[in-house]
Structure 1
Amino acid sequence: MSAVVVEDVRQAGVERKARRHVEQGVGRGVERHLVLVPTGRDAVLARRAGGRAADAERVCGAAPTMRLTRFGRLVRTVLVAGVIAVLGVGLAGQLASASGDARTITVHAGQTLSGIAVRELPELSVTDGVVELQVANGLSTSQIHAGQQLVIPAH
């Protein structure tokens, strides 16, 4: 990790007086340069190296890290978002099917929706069972007829 700072670099042969004038805004002979200054852990390692440039580069790691361009960051972001979306859709599908498999029955003559609810969904009250059957089958009333196929939701 490093920070960029502005540093005055004196040209060869320029006296101290010229530097003072530049600081006051008068004169020439001092140029401003941007330099990288180690911060954080790198600063501690550079300090331990005793300020020697060669040792500091060896300790801090002279090889610069690879940087992604703006397009590279965009591609990486899109790929990560795509993977997350695919995993989310797959997980949602697994959760939907993990709730149990619905089964289908055929209504016989004389059967009622409430009778089927009592027999097929014993863990629910009769009214809750009828409502579950109506929702699962898209029924607006409790009227059913013989031969009709009903989906029994899993609980």
Structure 2
Amino acid sequence: MSAVPSLDVPAVAPSPRRHLHLVPSGPAVVDSLEGGRSTRRAPLTRRAVLARRRFAALLALLVLVGGGLLAAKAVAEANPAGGATSVTVKDGETLSQIAARELPSLRNDRGVVAIQEANSMSSMHVQAGQRILVPAG
């Protein structure tokens, strides 16, 4: 036989159901709770508004200048000025043939795109006698 200690715990009657109560809110209640002190900020002076606008304009200008410098650096790295050669297109020659001959280290399609970018060309059409720049491959 085993012994089980008994606990004398009084039975607790369930508490009556609580109801929600509406609590007033708004600035009048906040003022009355704080003893009349308002937590609202005073409106900014004209001088403070102008100072904030100048700061925002300066920040925007710095972002634009920084972005421009980064873009210029990317363009300079993508199109190095040194090593580009000038080629005159022969009669019946295509841009694809020039890319294959002048840029053998690149795939032909990439060579064509490199030549188009170096010359700001929007198409693959070239004419006999036209001079085009071929970037270093």
What is the TM-score normalised by the length of structure 1? 0.46
Q: Is the 8 A contact 1:104 1:149 kept in 2?
A: no
Q: 1:89 aligns with which of 56, 61, 68?
A: 68
- Give the counterpart of 2:59 among 56, 80, 84: 80
Alignment of 1:18-97 (within 5 A): 32-34=36-38, 69-97=48-76
AA of the residue aligned to 1:76: F
Corresponding residue of 1:106: 87
Provide the rounded CA distance (Å) in 2 between the counterparts of 1:141 and 1:88: 32
Deviation of 1:108 after TM superposition, in Å, equals 6.0
How much does 1:82 deviate? Answer: 0.7
1:123: how far off?
3.1
- The equivalent of 2:10 in structure 1 is none
Moved more, 80-89 or 68-77: 68-77
Q: Does 1:144 align with 2:127?
A: yes
Farther off after superposition, 134-143 or 78-87? 134-143
Structure 1 residue 110, shift from structure 2 partner: 5.7
Percentage of pairs with the same residue: 31
Bigger helix share: 1
Rate the CA distance shift 1:75–1:135 in 2: closer, same or farther, 3 A: closer
CA RMSD of aligned residues (A): 3.4
Q: What is the aligned partner in structure 2 of residue 28 from structure 1? A: none
Residue 102 of structure 2 contacts residue 134 of structure 2 at CA under 8 Å; is this kept in 1? yes
Q: Which has the higher strand share?
A: 1
Q: Any stretches of 5+ residues in structure 1 without a counterpart? A: 9-31, 36-67
| CA displacement at 1:69 relative to structure 2 | 1.4
Which deviates more, 137-146 or 93-102? 137-146
> What amino acid does structure 1 have at the position aligned with 2:128?
H
Give the 3 Å change call, closer, same or farther, for CA 88–82 of structure 1 in structure 2.
same
Q: Report SS of the residue matched to 2:133.
A: strand
**Contact 2:99/2:108, CA 8 A, preserved across alignment:** yes
